[in-house]
Amino acid sequence: MSADVRAEGEILIVDDTPANLDLLSRMLKDRFRVRAATSGRRALATARTYAIDLVLLDVDMPEMNGFEVCRELKAHPATRELPVIFVSALDAAIDKVAAFEAGGADYITKPFQVEEVMARIEYQLRLARLTRDLARKNDELGRAYEDVRRIAGELEDTNRQLAIANVRLRTLSYLDGLTGVANRRRFDEALEEACDAANELDAPLSLVLLDLDHFKKLNDSQGHQDGDEALRAVAALLAEQTESRGGLAARFGGEEFAWLLPGLTLDAAHAEAEALRAKVRDARIRHDGADSGIVTASLGVTSAVGSSTLTPAAILAAADAALYRAKSGGRDRVESVPLA
C-alpha cells in the first residue's frame, strides 16, 4: 500500500481469547497503533480513556457479549461515533442483524482473510474521517452562517439608522434654522405640488404672504438679536395657526412668511389671514422703531381654482400684489387679490 493512501489510526481489539488477540495484533501493528482488551468492561474503559479510532469487537464473550459492549459504546457521548467492526465465528443472519442493530458498522466472520480485514478497517477509518471532516465543515459553515446573519443584522440596523438619519437630515434640510418653520426650498416644492394637485382636481388653492412692518427699524433700534426673537415669535404664531387650520407655514425670506392653504377659497383664506394679523398684534412684541411700539404685520392673500394654467409663478405674483397693496394702504392690514 502506498504511503499517500495508507490508513492510520488507533485500533482497539476486544477478544477474550489471547490467541485471537495476538493474531489480530500482529496483523495490524505494522499499519496501526494497537490496543487490546480481554473483556467488555475493560474495552469500555479503554475506549473512554484513549483516543481510539476503531474497535474490532468479538461477539461471543463471557459476562458482557459484543452486542452489549457496542450498545454501551454507542450510548456514551465520548464513544458513540466510534466505528465498530464485529469479528465473530457466528455466521447466522440473525447474528449479523443483531450486530447492526446494536450499532455495528461492519461484520467479519472467522476465519478471516488478512486483506479483507485490512480493507474493511481502512474503509471504516476513511469513512469516519470523512464524517468528522464533514461535521467540522458543517460546524464551520454553521458558524459562518451565523456570522453572516449577525453581519446582515448589523447591516440592517445600520441601514435602519442611516435611513432614520437621512429622514432627519431631509427634515432638517426643509426647516428654517432660525424660526423652525419650513424653509423656502420646502415651500417652493410644496407650492409646485399644490398647483399640480389643484389643476388635476379643479380644487381651490390659496396663498398668504406675511411681512413684518418696519422690520429694518426694529433691527436698527433694538439690534438683530431682538429682530431674530421677533421673527421666531411670529413664526410660532403662524405655526400655531397652521396646526389648527392646516396647510404649510414657511419662512419666505428675510422678515417675510408664506402660508400655503390647499382647498381654501379666497374668503376663507382672507379670514384666516385676518385672524393671524390680530394674533401678531395681540402678542405685543416690542418694536421701538414703530409708532405703535409693537410688531405688526401686513398680509396679502390670493386664491384660484385649479386649471391647466395655474402655476407657482402666477399665484406668487398675485399674493405679492396683494401684500404690496396691504403695505401701501397703511400696513397692519390684510388685502386680497383673486388670481385671474
- Tens-digit pLDDT profile for residues 198-253: 999 999 999 999 999 999 999 999 999 999 999 999 999 999 999 989 999 999 99
Give the percent of the chain with pLDDT over 90: 68
Cα–Cα dist 305/321, whole Å:
18
Task: Catalytic residue, from 255, 256, 272, 335: name it.
Answer: 255
Tell me what pLDDT residue 267 has. Answer: 96
Q: Is the pLDDT of residue 5 over 50?
A: no
Cα–Cα dist 110/87, whole Å:
7
pLDDT tens profile 183-193: 999 999 999 99
Domains, in order of start, for the chain = 3-135 (3.40.50.2300), 184-336 (3.30.70.270)
Q: Is 255 a catalytic residue?
A: yes
pLDDT tens profile 321-331: 999 999 999 99
